[in-house]
Structure 1
Amino acid sequence: MTRSNTGDVGPNVVVVGSDLRASTADGLIVRGGLPNTWCCMGNMNATNHVHRTTLWMKVS
């Protein structure tokens, strides 16, 4: 799971990997920026930021 370092994103938004952070399912950041470019495939909102989930696909 990754989370955006630049705020909210929606489906089909493409971001550079340096704007993402690898994290655990409970939101703990485990490493800094990722390589490549990534496209948001969709997300699920929750009542707080800890439980939000976003699906990313590497595009380059």
Structure 2
Amino acid sequence: MLGGIGLPELLIILLLAFIVFGAGKLPGVGKALGQSIREFKVAVNKSVEEDAKQD
């Protein structure tokens, strides 16, 4: 699904994020996104471990 995203596409996405959020808010947005991804990974791993225990 994301295999078609290359460097030009990433640059366009970053440029749009810079325009929408501004330079001052980008670090906060990046931090929030990183925390969300981290929490999602923890939840997925916890779910996989619980499924393995049930088997």
Scaled by the length of structure 1, the TM-score of the pair is: 0.17
> Which of the two has greater helix per residue?
2
Highest CA radius of gyration, 1 or 2?
A: 2
- More strand per residue: 1
Q: Which has the higher contact order (CA 8 A, sep 6+)?
A: 1
TM-score (norm 2): 0.17
